[in-house]
Amino acid sequence: MSVSAKPPLRILLCAPRGFCAGVVRAIDAVEEALRKFGAPVYVRHEIVHNRYVVEGLKRKGAIFVDELSEIPDTDAPVIFSAHGVPKSVPEEAEARRFHAIDATCPLVTKVHREAEIHHRRGRLVILIGHQGHPEVVGTMGQLPPGAVVLIETAEEVARLEIPPGTPLAFVTQTTLSVDDTRQVVEALKARFPEIVAPHKEDICYATTNRQEAVKRVAPQVDAMIVVGSPNSSNSQRLREVAERAGCRRAALVLRAEEIDWALFGAIGSLGITAGASAPEILVEEIIDAFAARYTVAVETVSTADESVFFPLPRALRPDAA
């Protein structure tokens, strides 16, 4: 195909997109541990939900496990992922005398502390989140069994069986759809007017900002690509937000080789964003794939400036003993 025969394609690039401060901190924690202590470094659960990132860290000497029981007795660092872990995990690490480093995102830790405070004050905690997601498992694991009730949808609020007069509070997973969560919160407040809400919304700034950018771009384009992994909650939510905002063709794509050209073959405009755990190199790879087939013109649509920074876990900072 000659250059002149390539059809034009307008690409609207969402900003902010890609890595958030918590993801940068978690990846940096693994890389700094490898630099400081050498390989191997064990990581419980995928440090962030992105296969490209995880495979890159494996090549550098990180060993990923689902549970601490898979780790032999070792002096090597053991890092907890950005999603947070139940209290039983650091307890097990201490019992086995592991050199544990907690890379939980500080915004997830904030939710953990909120839940603990509510529990100490005698409130039953309702957690809005997705069953089985590591962040939800970690948050529920901060409190004794039965102290947290998990719900996912507004419809479930009506089915909650809670004794009258029970003091209630709610917290949420940090990577949810802002609009979905608003509906659940409204249903909770309507049924339980006395329920205690978070001081500040639990859905993190990065999730909110990325969804806002998609809402701006999605109605303007023929198709939308969200760069991210299928097991990434915030990436899946971005795809849903794009569809709801009026984009009929929205797909979650990890790498350029996964692009379904039957879906994206005859378009005049394309929106691209990336989940909070997707590196910019994968966005560039996908733009390059379209540039091979189209004459592309790339514009950035920015809805917020992000300047959030989280320092490394204390054990990895230069002044650590």
Residues in the chain: 321
> Which one from 135, 155, 161, 194 is the annotated catalytic residue?
135
3-state secondary structure 242-271: HHHCCCCEEEEECCHHHCCHHHHCCCCEEE
Radius of gyration of the chain (CA): 21
Sheet holding 249-253, edge to edge: 249-253, 223-227, 269-274, 8-15, 295-302
- Is 228 in contact with 175 (CB distance < 8 Å)? no
Q: Does the annotation mark 135 as catalytic?
A: yes
The CA distance from 221 to 247, in Å, is 7
The CA distance from 94 to 82, in Å, is 19
What lies within 8 Å, CB to CB, of 74 at 6+ separation is 40, 42, 98
Give catalytic residue positions.
135
